[in-house]
Amino acid sequence: MSDLARTPRQIGTLIQRARKKRDWTQKQLADRAGLRQATISTIESGEKPAKLDTILAVLSALDLEFRIGARSRGDASDIEEIF
């Protein structure tokens, strides 16, 4: 399963959920990702649009990754050849 992330806010929420699932503080995640606690805070809020590199660092620290697929309404994954 993978959750879609179309907006910075959605991405922030998913990151926060994953972090809490691991019982990590923002500081712990920040250290692992080479960022500041404050940066994690803004990312999770999704208000200040982050840099791609920063998000990738966070995802990596959480053992997560981006996937790119066709837009699907709802949560389906009925996709064919796009690339």
Interacting residues toward DNA by CB under 7 A? 25-27, 34-39, 41-45, 48-51, 53-55
The least distance separating a second copy from the CB of residue 31, rounded to whole angstroms, comes to 19
Q: Is 23 in the site for a second copy (CB under 8 A)?
A: no
Q: Is 53 in the site for a second copy (CB under 8 A)?
A: yes
CA distance linking residue 73 with residue 79, whole number of Å: 11
Using only the alpha carbons of the chain, give its radius of gyration.
13
DSSP letter at 7 equals S
Q: Smaller CB distance to DNA: residue 66 or 79? A: 66
Which tokens hold the place of 39?
């940066």
Our CB check for DNA shows the closer of 37 and 77 to be 37
Choice between 7 and 25, CB closer to a second copy: 7
CA distance 55 to 49: 10
